[in-house]
Structure 1
């Protein structure tokens, strides 16, 4: 398979994925999804003004355990609850790691050596900032 063919396949597989902010309902939700389908990669959810966001990561994972969460120079640890297809972690919105995530759009979550990367592309950072504003306590 040539590089160009491989690149075309990667683009085709990622087509349709977007970040969508659902701020009119409670809880507030920011989802990395293919709209109008049940396909999800990442969901951030909070009760407005609570100061805590729940991060749900979808896909195979290593099970529950202590998660190391890193964004830029900031890091945190937290308890990760998991099923076969989903990992959930609570993050305080006033924690430096969440602040770095809002600034950069990059977050690395590791449990038992297995990393799941969250990337909010530049075009969608305003949605992440709005989510953080709505959730802040």
Structure 2
């Protein structure tokens, strides 16, 4: 029995990357811009922002969430917005205009809160990575 528990603990440790492995990465090419909270060179993602350059629309995905789709209240600083969210196998998805005050507040301080029904998820881009978020916003804005 103890051997089984030890085995399960080892598997859990292997599948959950340590916090130090997570980072924010900006991907930029002619067709798409993406900012990902990820473990590089793995399929592990927590959060992505994606856009077509100059489109003015950021597609947001929260991974590893069981939030039901519906109307999402998105808050950053003193600004808020309501947008429709969808749920897919990969996670919760929604879209935000990059010129909206909520996105501007997010780009300024790196904090974003998303609530759907009673469930809430928060995203925080640490200060050393804020330049990547601002560059994402610049590249995506129309």
RMSD of aligned residue pairs (Cα, Å): 1.4
TM-score normalised per structure 1? 0.88
Structure 1 unaligned spans of 5+ = 1-11
Partner of residue 18, structure 2: 13
Within the alignment, does 1:80 sit opposite 2:85 as a pair? yes
Q: Deviations over 1:10-55 (max 9, x none)?
A: xx73121000000125210000000000000000000000000000
Structure 2 unaligned spans of 5+ = 1-16
The whole-number CA distance in structure 1 between the counterparts of 2:137 and 2:103 is: 9
CA contact (8 A) 2:35 2:136 kept: yes
Aligned residues: 127
Give 1 or 2 for the bigger CA radius of gyration. Answer: 2
TM-score normalised per structure 2? 0.85
Secondary structure at the counterpart of residue 15 of structure 1: helix
Point out 4+ residue stretches in structure 1 off by more than 4 angstroms. Answer: none
- Quick one: which of 39, 44, 55 aligns to 1:50? 55
The whole-number CA distance in structure 2 between the counterparts of 1:90 and 1:60 is: 17
CA contact (8 A) 1:61 1:84 kept: no
Within the alignment, does 1:95 sit opposite 2:85 as a pair? no
The whole-number CA distance in structure 2 between the counterparts of 1:77 and 1:125 is: 24
